[in-house]
Amino acid sequence: MNMRQEALARIKSVNLEPKLPHKKVSSYFGENTFNLETMQKHISKSTFEAFKRWMSEGKLITLEQANEIANAMKDWAISKGATYYTHWFQPMTGLTAEKHDSFISITGPGKVIEKFSGSKLIQGEPDASSFPSGGIRATFEARGYTAWDPSSPAFIIESKLGNTLCIPTIFISYNGEALDKKLPLLRSDEALSKAASGLLKLFGYKDVKKVFSTCGPEQEYFLIDKNYYNLRQDLLLTGRTLVGAPSPKGQQLEDQYFGTIKERVINFMFEVAEEAYKLGIPVMTRHNEVAPHQYEFAPIFEESNIAADHNQLLMELMKKIALRHNLVCLLHEKPFAGINGSGKHLNWSLADDKGNNLLNPGDTPEGNLQFLAVLAAVLRAVYIHSDLLRASVAMAGNEHRLGANEAPPAIISVFVGDQLNDILDTIEKGAKTKVSKKDIIDLGITRLPKFNKDTTDRNRTSPFAFTGNKFEFRAVGSSQNISTPIAVLNTIIAESLDYVAEKIKKETKGKDFHSAVLRVIAQIVKETKDVRFEGNNYAPEWLKEAKKRGLPNVASTCEALKALIKPSNVALFEKYKVFSKEEVVARYHIWVHTYNTILEIEANTLNEMVNASVVPAGYDYERLLADNLNDLSDLKKSAALKVDTAAFNDLKEHLAEVAAKIYYVRHNTKRMVKLLEKAEKLHHEERGKLYFEELKPLMEHIRKHVDQLECVVSDEHWDLPKYREMLFIK
Ligand code: ADP
Ligand code: MG
């Protein structure tokens, strides 16, 4: 038995202790979070009121009040078994980071007490020199600070031998520049709030204090058995399979989507949900996805900042809990070639502090008009800034989906559905003539009083689709931290809402408000028409059509990232105070660098796999064939064995074929190593270009030959777990 076959023999479900009796979710939801309710129970009324004012009006609390909260948080955490605390943050690696400190404080020789102060709660100072800063913070000035983000509740992470209090924080440099993904998101929400409240005022909603974006990220993932995972260096080191012949049965039969969930998987899902609920993460649905062994979790939507934290936590929980079930959770965008990859559909909308969804079509003409104005702003934002949206999802993993042979395409267009499409067309035409209040009614605006959510047709191929009362940005990668796409979305929408508000103000002067709004909407609808596409985004005709319309189609990650440093985009970020020029330029360089590093790791892994696993297996099989051939030839002579010449030649041909395939694999792998050497001398921008244009196709080429070899080499000699095994475990 080879290693792979041994792994197969070892596969079994883990024995789980039944958890009985089951508790009602409502009885423990959020029990491991220091949420408002818990805080209120543990601190004085005046401090609690001050904290709430801080959250709603931005009026800072005093140091004494911070001390009181810190102390309460510590007591609560200790009562929950925590001995350590950590400032939890999201550096630009896209992961989360923690530096743990104990609560203990020395009070005398050999004596300690548990202590936690307001200043420690508010600020931490991890040694920041090892986190990417893109040159913002030279390594010799290692200072970076974490600052408490009170809008996201502190939480407790449990592990078998102890618990840790985690405090969500932002991560900044000595001079206050953002070194993380969260601060720009918080800033973008502020910009959005200002712009949206301004527009709402024009519609008579004068007492709106705050508008924020809401978000519900649908998380796709794969699960495979841990025994297989451990035998695949590519999965271990890069998160995706660099070689692997397709399984004869893939997703052709479409028998997986929404299918019955296997018991082993459902046990995993139950445990994830339970842990998520304790942390206040409202996981709502779970189901099988299109590809074999692909699944999805979707939460109930929340304020974007919280949703982003929760998504990071959920991904970590999924990875951790999978291991307990002898499974590995793959969050990579394209773990397996030839079957669907994974994305993170980002459901996004705008809400005000009164609980209204600004993208709810509503059931009054006024409501509809406000909705249509916001809708127009979104259309305009996506039309003008599609390059930024594309950049916000540009990463090595996602490059296998966007613009490659996977949905959705790299062309950013908007789908609104038949009903809205008709309305927009009518407005566009109607607005050419003079519109009076009566005409508005005639235009059919009031005829959509009950815009039914379910009437938005499904268009699964659109990268940016209106789905009833929210937009769904589907180009986001499954492993991505959603903060950046949200921050970009918020910023471009803020700019567009300001534009619409300004236009309306100008148009209204002395004239009827309704007709003025309609005229503005009509104008925008006309100008942004090219970004609307209702058809099949995967069809080849769309590529041609999009080109004719002048919509960008950028397949390369590094090329797409360039949008970040385009002067007009830098100015936009600066105007809305989301990124300073320095911050955004730093991000651009970090992300190009990350792309290169990922490709280098992949290429080096492929090199090693080819040399240490693939080629030796090929040689073993080659020897088997050669021995066979020799034996036959000897027997022909010595024992006058009658072998059909055709059969004899067939064996010879097969041997030659295998030898040739091994040669191709080795030959191209050597070329790949040369290419990597050449790349070393290049600046990282040039390097990224070379990797996209030459390294990736070369790796694909190597893979093609390896996969052909896999299909002929005897099963016994092939050590790497195969697609048909990894994707169809019981
Ligand atoms: P589908 O993708 O099939 O249309 P749902 O309508 O159930 O699915 O919604 C999918 C996701 O969209 C869920 O995570 C849900 O919480 C989220 N969502 C619903 N309304 C909003 C909203 N106003 N803002 C942001 N996300 C939302
Ligand atoms: Mg969806």
CA-CA distances (angstroms) from residue 375 to 381, 395, 520, 524, 648? 10, 29, 12, 10, 72
In the chain, the amino acid numbered 699 is M
3-state SS class at 652: helix
Q: Do 179 and 128 form a contact (C-beta atoms < 8 A)?
A: yes
Rounded to the nearest angstrom, the gap between the alpha carbon of residue 286 and the centroid of all alpha carbons in its chain is 17
Expressed in angstroms and rounded, the spacing between residue 347 Cα and the centre of ligand 1 is: 6
Nearest CA to ligand 1 atom 11: 216
Pocket test residue of 470, 476, 482, 489 for ligand 1, highest count of atoms within 8 A of CB = 470
User: Which is the closest atom of ligand 1 to the Cα of 218?
Assistant: 14
CB atoms under 10 Å from CB of 634, counted, come to 11
Ligand 1, atom nearest to 351 Cα: 23
pLDDT of 141: 55
**Scanning the structure block, which residue is given the tokens 């196709």?**
697
How much distance in Å is there from the Cα of 373 to the middle of ligand 1? 21
Which amino acid residue places its CA nearest to atom 19 of ligand 1? 301
For the CA of 467, the closest atom of ligand 1 is 4
CA 307 to ligand 1 centroid distance, Å: 12
Instruction: Name the CA dihedral angle for 240, 324, 290, 388, rounded to a multiple of 10 degrees.
Output: -60
Minimal CA–CA distance to 225: which of 188, 262, 250, 194? 262
Give the ligand 1 atom nearest the CA of 300: 16
Which atom belonging to ligand 1 lies closest to the Cα atom of 284? 14
Q: Which ligand is nearest to the CA of 345?
A: 2
Q: Are strands 162-173 and 154-159 parallel, antiparallel or unpaired?
A: antiparallel
Burial class (CB in 10 A: 0-12, 13-18, 19+), 183: buried
What is the atom index within ligand 1 of the atom nearest the CA of 348?
Answer: 25
Read off the DSSP letter of residue 611. Answer: I
- Domain topology for 595-726: Four Helix Bundle (Hemerythrin (Met), subunit A) (1.20.120)
Q: CA of 201: how far to CAs of 32, 207, 210, 505, 506, in Å? A: 39, 8, 12, 11, 15
The alpha carbon of residue 576 and the mean position of all alpha carbons in its chain are separated, in whole angstroms, by 24
Look at residues 513, 519, 496, 605 and name the one whose alpha carbon lies nearest to residue 234: 605
Q: How far apart are CA 708 and CA 688, in angstroms?
A: 29
For 196, other C-beta atoms within 10 Å of its C-beta total: 28
Please tell me the distance from the alpha carbon of residue 314 to that of residue 271, in angstroms, as a whole number: 12
First to last CA, the chain: 21
Pocket probe mutation, ligand 1, options 218, 301, 314, max atoms within 8 Å of Cβ: 301
Residues with CB under 6 A from ligand 1: 214-216, 218, 298-301, 347-349, 357, 467, 469-470
Give the C-alpha distances (Å, rounded to integers) separating 450 from 365, 369, 416, 438, 464: 11, 13, 16, 20, 23
- Measure the CA–CA gap between 505 and 489, rounded to whole angstroms: 24
Residue among 289, 296, 300, 347 whose CB has most ligand 1 atoms within 8 A, to mutate: 347
How do the domains of the chain map onto residue ranges? 1-27+220-342, 31-180, 181-218+343-578, 595-726
Structure tokens at 728: 């169809």
| Fold (CATH) for 31-180 | Ubiquitin-like (UB roll) (3.10.20)
Cα angle at 571 between 567 and 573, to 5 degrees?
120
| Token pair 């789905």: residue | 467
Q: How far apart are CA 310 and CA 374, in angstroms?
A: 27
The Cα 383–Cα 540 span in angstroms is 21
- The whole-number pLDDT of residue 435 equals 42
pLDDT (0 to 100) of residue 156:
96
- Under a CB-based contact definition with an 8 Å cutoff, are residues 215 and 301 in contact? yes
Which residues of the chain carry a pLDDT beneath 70? 13-21, 126-130, 135-143, 250-261, 363-367, 405-408, 431-458, 729-730
How many angstroms separate the CA atoms of 71 and 77, rounded? 10
Domain boundaries 1-27+220-342, CATH class: alpha beta
CA of 344 to the centre of ligand 2 (A): 9
CA distance 221 to 215: 19
What lies within 8 Å, CB to CB, of 15 at 6+ separation is none
Q: Cα separation of 330 and 639, whole Å?
A: 57
- CB atoms < 10 A from the CB of 648, how many? 14
Measured CA to CA, the distance from residue 544 to residue 548 in angstroms comes to: 6
pLDDT at 127: 64
The span from the CA of 546 to the CA of 403, in Å, is 13
Residue 621's Cβ-side half-sphere holds a number of Cα atoms within 13 Å equal to 27
Q: Which residues make up the environment of ion ligand 2, defined by Cβ < 5 Å?
A: 345
E strands present in 160-228: 162-173, 211-225
Per-residue DSSP letter, 709: H
| pLDDT tens sequence across 122-174 | 887 766 666 777 766 554 455 678 889 999 999 999 988 889 999 999 888 87
Radius of gyration for the chain, computed over Cα atoms and rounded to the nearest angstrom: 29
Question: Looking at this protein, which amino acid is placed at residue 336?
Answer: F
